[in-house]
Amino acid sequence: MTKEEMLCPDDIRCKFSREMSNLYQREVPAYETLLELVQQVNKEILDSDTVASGKQIWAPTPSRLGEERHGAIRLGTAAELRMIRRIFSIMGMHPVGYYDLSQAGIPVHATAFRPIDQASLNKNPFRVFTSLLRLDLIGDEQLRKRAQKTLEERDIFSDRAREYVAQIEQDGGLAPKDLDEFIEEIMKTFRWHQQANVDLQFYSLLHDAHRLVADIVSFKGPHINHLTPGTLDIDAVQKLMPSHGISPKAIVEGPPLRSCPILLRQTSFKALEETVSFPSIKGGADESSHTARFGEVEQRGAALTPKGRDLYDRLLKKVRAKVTPLPDGENSGEYNQVLAEIFKEFPDNWEKIREQGLAYFSYKIVGNIDDAKTTDIESLIKAGIVVAEPLFYEDFLPVSAAGIFQSNLGEEVTQEFSVVPNRKEFERDLGTTTYEECALYAEMESQSLKAIYKILPAS
């Protein structure tokens, strides 16, 4: 086949995200309930008097609301990370950002595989937050070596999946006739395995080192540990969860509720306790339980510039210096009150946000271009010829990610690790450098301005 006859990576990603959703709904029925709840909330908002009165709901491609916008997996070795990078590349998903979670007592670092251009994001924004275990942060040398050996002895990819990836790379694309089988083989990597790879005694040692270490090392593959639909009102979803039999985490992670949403707000239901069969050192099997998989909801806002992100981080640090949210939610009211009060320092008006250079924007012509007497963007905006729309944040917040992880690892988790971010090591294991998220947003903003300058009569 010619390259033109091959499938577009966006179409492969669409198929992959649909199949991932179907798989997770089958395996975790509570997640299916969560999806229905999110869709209900979104529909009520879209059908509300607010929308009927003409007020615009600021949301990424509303037709996709309720569909999954990201998932998450945890890998054990550099070889697994490099292979998953090759797989996601076929789907038009590339590593963006470096996240060090050791700062929150979680022995992993990570990147997000996602589309990087606006057209692909509009087609399907699905991304996978991908963590790599850092065994170097585990103090017990004997445990470290045994865990490493266990990880090296497993292969999380099927032989056929490996063959497909090599062939696709050689051919420069995936033929339409092979799409279903390719996705089927890839999905085998993310399925839940009720049978552990290790005996119960070793699992307990791993669990005592850190629950997440046990989750990564003890199984045949990196089962998808959560999927995340997008909502127009995350606070409404949070309040409704208990009435639908879902136990939510104590607080919504991220910035407070605002008229002009920024970055990312997330919540989740608590991880399931699932029965697992462990091979017995005496023969047969031992049954116990494992806690890892949960469901998450997100509400995204504007992508912030380095200046805006610095302000956000400083304000959040102020909040956490005054009150740290407790796992049981006992001080959630106090935390939310302090969060809202301190974040009053961050402008809640799009024009002020833009004037102060706190967020990225996309510029569009909406008026009569023939009336343009200048190439000055500010003058064109005042004349109603050009509008500035905030760019959606497509990435993640380390503190929020850590908060979600910790809330699903158990309230008694208190392990501490040396905070040693190591982007160079991560990129070496990945086999490539990661994209800088701010550079991607800046390029989108720049391209939107260039498109306007090209057609201005006065240019």
Could you give the number of structural domains in the chain? Answer: 2
Contact call for residues 252 and 266 (beta carbons, < 8 A): yes
- Give the long-range contacts of residues 142-147, CB within 8 A, separation 24 or more: 143/205, 143/206, 143/209, 146/202, 147/206, 147/213, 147/217
User: What is the CB neighbour count within 10 angstroms for residue 449?
Assistant: 15
Same domain, 336 and 274: no
- On the question of pLDDT at 417 being above 90, the answer is no
210: domain CATH number is 3.10.180.80
Same domain, 267 and 160: yes
Same domain, 227 and 317: no
- Give the model's pLDDT for residue 50: 57
- Give the model's pLDDT for residue 413: 46
Same domain, 163 and 204: yes
The model's confidence at residue 49, banded by pLDDT at 50, 70 and 90, is: low
Q: Is position 27 within any domain?
A: yes
CA distances from 336 to 326, 392, 397, 424 (A): 12, 24, 18, 37
DSSP secondary structure of 328-339: T-TTHHHHHHHH
Q: Is position 52 within any domain?
A: yes
CA dihedral 153, 157, 158, 160 (to 10 degrees): -130
The DSSP symbol for 241 reads T
- On the question of pLDDT at 244 being above 50, the answer is yes
Same domain, 216 and 315: no
Q: Is position 340 within any domain?
A: yes
Write out pLDDT tens, residues 349-360: 999 999 999 999
Same domain, 206 and 260: yes
Same domain, 214 and 321: no
CA–CA dist 259, 267 (Å, integer): 19
User: What is the CB neighbour count within 10 angstroms for residue 446?
Assistant: 12
Same domain, 124 and 232: yes
Across 288-311, average pLDDT: 91
Write out pLDDT tens, residues 130-145: 999 999 888 889 999 9
Kindly report the pTM of this predicted structure. Answer: 0.90
Range of the domain at 109: 3-301+397-421
Same domain, 282 and 195: yes
